[in-house]
C-alpha cells in the first residue's frame, strides 16, 4: 500500500477516529485469510508476474465419483473466495470432474501486492500458468460474478484450451460507465473499503445475493470477508480491493460476448440487482441497471452458442441460495453443451 495512505490512516487513529475495522465482534483473519478454514487442502502456486514474486492459493480436488476425464476450473467473484465454492466442488467431484478452485491474486489466500496492474487478461494468464503447472490442457470454466468476467476473458484468450464456459450471474452484462454510472477513483474505492464491516456485508448480501432472504449458513461467508477486512492486513486488503474494483468498472467484456467461440451456459438468478457503482448513480440511471431478468436474455442472444437457464426469484448467488436446484441444472447443462 502506498506510504501516503499509511500516514493518512495513522492520522485518523491519532485523532481518535474509530474506523470500522476496529470492531471486535467476530473473528479476525490475516491478509491472506490466515486462520480461516478452507473445505479442502490449500496449495500455493508460486510464480513471477510484473517483476514480483507472487503466489496463488488453490484447491485441487480429484473426482470422488467415477472419473469422466474432465476438469472444471471455478472462478470466484469479487466478494467471494475459492472456499465459497464448497457445495459446487462436492457436486462436481461427485459427478466425476476434477475440480480446481484458485484464489486470484488480490483475493483471499493469495498475494496482495502493494502495486499491481490488475487486468482480466493478467488474471487469465496467471490462471493459465497454474493449469499448465498442473498439466491440465483443456478445461470447463465455471465463473461466478466477477469470475464470470474473468472466465469470459480466459475463453477469449485461450479458446483452444476452453471446452465449455458456464457463467453464474456474471457481472459485466452491461457497461455501467457507458450507461451513466459516475466514476469512482481508486482512492475513493480505498476509503470506502476501509469502512467494510460485518453488518454492511450482511445487509448487502441479504438484499442482493439472496433476494432478501437469510439462512444461518451464510454467516460464515460474512465473517470470512469481515475478518480479513479488520485483521492485521486490513489496509493491504482494502488497497487491493480498490484496484480490483477499478479493473471491474473500467474493463468491460460486454462488447466481446459476440466473439466467444465456445459453448456457453448462462445460469441466471432473475432477482439479482448487482451493478457496480449503483450507489453513486443518479435515480434515472439507477432505475435502468442491474436487471438480471432482462440482462440474461439479452446476453444469451449476443453469445453465439449460448444456453440460458433461469432461476426465477433467486439472487446473485443461486449456487449458495438453492444449491440442489442449481447443481442439478449445472450438471445437466454441462452434459448437453
- Closest among 181, 187, 279, 171 to 239, alpha carbons compared: 187
The count of C-alpha atoms lying within 13 angstroms of the C-alpha of 116, restricted to the half-sphere facing its C-beta, is: 31
pLDDT tens sequence across 150-197: 999 999 999 999 999 999 999 999 999 999 999 999 999 999 999 999
The predicted-structure confidence for 54-87, as pLDDT tens digits, reads as follows 999 999 999 998 999 999 999 999 999 999 999 9
Angle at 172 between CA 303 and CA 136, to 5 degrees: 70
Statement: residue 316 has pLDDT above 60: yes
Domains of the chain (ranges, CATH numbers): 3-41+138-336 (3.40.50.1820)
Amino acid at each position: 500500500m502506498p506510504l501516503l495512505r499509511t500516514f493518512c490512516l495513522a492520522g485518523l487513529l491519532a485523532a481518535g477516529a474509530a474506523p470500522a475495522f476496529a470492531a471486535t465482534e467476530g473473528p479476525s483473519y490475516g491478509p491472506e485469510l490466515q486462520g480461516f478454514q478452507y473445505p479442502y487442502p490449500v496449495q500455493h502456486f508460486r510464480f513471477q508476474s510484473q517483476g514480483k514474486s507472487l503466489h496463488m492459493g488453490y484447491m485441487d480436488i480429484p473426482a470422488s465419483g467415477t472419473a469422466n476425464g474432465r476438469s472444471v476450473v471455478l472462478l470466484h467473484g469479487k466478494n467471494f473466495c475459492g472456499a465459497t465454492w464448497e457445495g459446487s466442488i462436492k457436486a462436481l467431484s461427485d459427478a466425476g470432474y476434477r475440480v480446481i478452485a484458485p484464489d486470484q491474486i488480490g483475493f483471499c489466500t493469495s498475494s496482495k501486492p502493494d502495486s499491481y496492474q490488475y487486468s482480466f487478461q493478467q488474471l487469465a494468464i496467471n490462471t493459465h500458468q497454474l493449469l499448465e503447472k498442473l498439466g491440465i490442457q483443456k478445461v470447463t470454466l465455471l465463473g461466478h460474478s466477477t469470475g464470470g468476467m474473468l472466465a469470459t476473458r480466459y475463453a477469449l484468450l485461450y479458446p483452444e484450451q476452453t471446452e465449455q464456459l458456464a457463467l453464474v450471474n456474471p457481472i459485466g452484462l452491461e457497461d455501467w460507465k457507458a450507461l451513466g454510472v459516475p466514476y469512482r477513483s481508486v482512492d475513493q474505492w480505498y476509503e470506502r473499503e476501509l469502512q467494510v464491516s460485518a453488518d454492511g456485508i450482511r445487509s448487502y448480501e441479504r438484499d442482493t445475493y439472496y433476494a432478501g432472504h437469510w439462512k444461518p449458513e451464510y454467516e460464515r461467508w460474512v465473517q470470512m470477508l469481515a475478518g480479513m477486512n479488520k485483521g492485521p492486513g486490513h489496509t493491504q486488503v482494502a488497497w487491493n480491493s480498490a484496484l480490483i474494483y477499478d479493473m471491474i468498472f473500467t474493463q468491460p467484456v460486454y462488447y466481446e460476448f459476440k466473439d466467444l467461440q465456445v459453448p456457453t451456459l448462462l445460469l441466471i438468478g432473475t432477482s439479482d440487482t448487482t451493478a457496480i457503482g449503483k450507489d453513486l448513480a443518479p435515480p434515472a440511471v439507477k432505475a435502468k441497471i442491474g436487471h438480471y431478468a432482462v440482462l440474461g436474455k439479452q446476453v444469451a442472444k449476443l453469445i453465439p452458442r449460448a444456453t440460458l437457464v433461469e432461476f426465477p426469484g433467486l439472487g446473485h448467488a443461486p449456487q449458495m441460495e438453492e444449491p440442489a436446484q442449481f447443481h442439478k441444472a449445472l450438471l445437466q447443462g454441462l452434459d448437453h453443451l
